[in-house]
Amino acid sequence: MCGITGYIGKRDATPILIEGLKKLEYRGYDSAGIALLKKGKMTVCKKKGRVDVLAGLMRKNPFKANLGISHTRWATHGGVTDENAHPHVSSDGMFALVHNGIIENYENMKRFLVKKGYTFSSQTDSEALVNLIAYHYQYRTSDKDENRFLEAVRKALIHVEGTYGIAVLCKDKPDELVAARKGSPLLIGIGKDERLVSSDVLGFAGRANNVIYLEDGQVASITKDNCDIISIGNTPVEYTIKEIDWQLENADLNGAKHFMQKEIFEQPKAIENAIRGRISEDQATAILQGLNMTPNDMRQIDRIIFCACGTAWHACLVAEQLIERYARIPVEVEYASEFRYRNIPIEKNTLVFVISQSGETIDTLEALRESKRKGFKTLAITNAIASTISRESDGGLYQYAGKEVGVASTKAFTSQVAICLLIALYIGRMRDMSYSVGKDIINALKSLPETIEKTLKTAPQIKKIAKKYACKNDFLFLGRLDEFPIALEGALKLKEISYIHAEAYPAGEMKHGPIALICPECPSVVFACAEDVLAKIVSNAQEIKARKGAVIAITCFPEAFKDIADDIITVPKVHDSIRTIIDTVPAQLLAYYIALERGCDVDKPRNLAKAVTVE
């Protein structure tokens, strides 16, 4: 996905747009660009590389204007080049556009536009859209229409198949900014005699405390002190202005070296926020507002399907084991990108749960929409207030983990698992879970922040271990039961920020093939806190050692590994219901420190973006 900012007001737009882009750089960082408009004169500067490169160019060639748009890119169509950077300008020079999303029918558009005499200088789908807007402005609107600019954008968008969040400038209209969205988030910030556009509230660069969330199929005409919104069908839209909760949205390093480090160490707080107000001590159950389901509705549920992507999918796998263990309801877990096309038979008492930190992942959003299309109850766990997924689901739970900026998800994951445990508790206590088991789970949840603090104290030891293994190019991660999803999560963390090839398996699967990989150059991380399978996983570790593979054990049973493991990371022994959260922390730290050892950019790893809003 990409980051978009726009500004119209009394101030110099450039520093505001650049500051906003810097806050959005976690969304994509291949190239960046800016377009400014003043009295009919438009200037565009765009360059491969980070926002700082663009800022340097703008300092060298300043252009004072009170209206502008800007973009930081995560490449979809077309390589990472200056020409493919946004903004894109129509070949008649009339329009500049920044775009987040994918236009699926852009080749047909290009063929049509080339016949009409428009030219192209990039391989992007976005350039087809800006020329299509120019075409409608020139040939499909009247120069007597005072809303000609808005009308040209609206008419062009009718022909778009795919997703977009766009901001557009028109040379003829130096006092108007047009924005539109379908499938990619776009917000309008309300400032004092100024309006801003952004992909998320951080892009307002602190200049707006009130926000309008554009909905899919809406087009906005924005001036410095007003905003009119119409639907793509040309009907006026009533919109609400919401206040931004900066407590949750704030994202500064606060002295940490990286956002990932900060967010790993924020996990005690994130868990506190996730469970706050959601525990009933006297009923030994959870209080889950926002599900929009009565207890009786919930009692009817006899099957739950979880859908998500990436780390959130791993949280679903943990949820599956927690809900089946404590609520005795069958659970299935699906990759959202698969679920939306698989046409799974879902009976009427099936509940579909989606999990998404950003609340904008397009595969998860479309899985949600597919479930709703089939008439099923859908609930969402998200960390982004008023995100598309949270707004389109029938109900759900916010994580309140605070903004997660590091591309590698950490606090959001453990927060999701804690919320899934609350769900297991809630459903379990309306079925056959006993009061005492409910109390045990509640006590475990309440102990989590302190226990995570204790676990974080292994950081210096893990930093040393990381030095030892940072040179390896292959890793195996192994776990059993609910620690297998943690093995998956540990492998993903390592992969995505250190670029080391890492695979995860249920430990029992080793002998069915993966053991062939074992050698001194392929260390194995073994998660061993599940007491009922401890003996099994110890023997798996012995099998590895017998083949000269290094073993890093993450365990609350260090004695069991003292003659086997090369390194033992001891974590506190906790109630079974929360062991996966505790196990995850050392895996996050190991990935973080290995990536640092390898000189990788842990907050902006190559090829990745924080939320994937394109398919």
Residues at the site binding ligand AGP, with contacts judged by CB under 6 A = 309-312, 356-358, 361, 364, 407-409, 496, 611-612
As measured in angstroms, the least distance from the Cβ of 5 to ligand AGP is: 20
Q: How far is the CB of 181 from ligand AGP (least distance, A)?
A: 18
Q: In the annotation, is 454 catalytic?
A: no
User: Which tokens belong to 90?
Assistant: 């129509």
In terms of CB distance, is 90 or 584 closer to ligand AGP? 584
Which among 185, 213, 215 has a CA at the least distance from the CA of 199?
Answer: 185
* 378 contacts 394 by C-beta, under 8 angstroms: yes
Query: In this complex, which beta carbon is closest to ligand AGP, that of residue 74 or of residue 118?
Result: 74
* Closest CA relative to residue 309, chosen from 357, 341, 377, 371: 357
Catalytic residue from among 2, 227, 420, 529? 2
Can you give the three-state secondary structure of 430-470, one letter per residue?
CCCCCHHHHHHHHHHHHHHHHHHHHHHCCHHHHHHHHHHHC
| CB closer to ligand AGP out of 308 and 481 | 308
CB-wise, 152 or 316, nearer to ligand AGP?
A: 316
| Strand ranges across the sheet with 551-555 | 501-506, 474-479, 524-528, 551-555, 567-570
User: Token match 């249920």: residue?
Assistant: 506
**CB closer to ligand AGP out of 23 and 27:** 27
Percent of the chain that is helix, strand, coil (3-state, to 5): 40, 25, 35
Beta-ladder partners of 553: 526, 568
Task: Say which DSSP state 218 is in.
Answer: E
- d(CA 479, CA 180) in angstroms, rounded, equals 46
Contact 188, 177 (CB under 8 A): no
3-state SS assignment for residue 518:
coil
Pick the closer one to ligand AGP by CB: 65 or 591. 591
Q: Minimum CB separation from ligand AGP for residue 357, in Å?
A: 3
> Helix, strand or coil for residue 153?
helix
Crossing angle (nearest 10°) for helices 411-428 and 310-326: 20
228: left (phi over 0), alpha (psi -120 to 50) or beta: beta
The CA distance from 322 to 419, in Å, is: 11
Q: How far is the CB of 598 from ligand AGP (least distance, A)?
A: 17
Residue 316 among the catalytic residues: no
Residue nearest to ligand AGP (CB): 310
Q: Residue 66 or residue 584: which is nearer to ligand AGP going by CB?
A: 584
CA-to-CA distance for 219 and 129, rounded, in angstroms? 15
Q: CB of 407: closest distance to ligand AGP in angstroms?
A: 5
Q: Which of 23, 173, 604, 610 is catalytic?
A: 610
Task: Pick the closer one to ligand AGP by CB: 366 or 567.
Answer: 366
The Cα–Cα gap between 86 and 97 comes to 7
Q: 60 phi and psi, to 5 degrees?
A: -70, -40
Catalytic residues: 2, 610
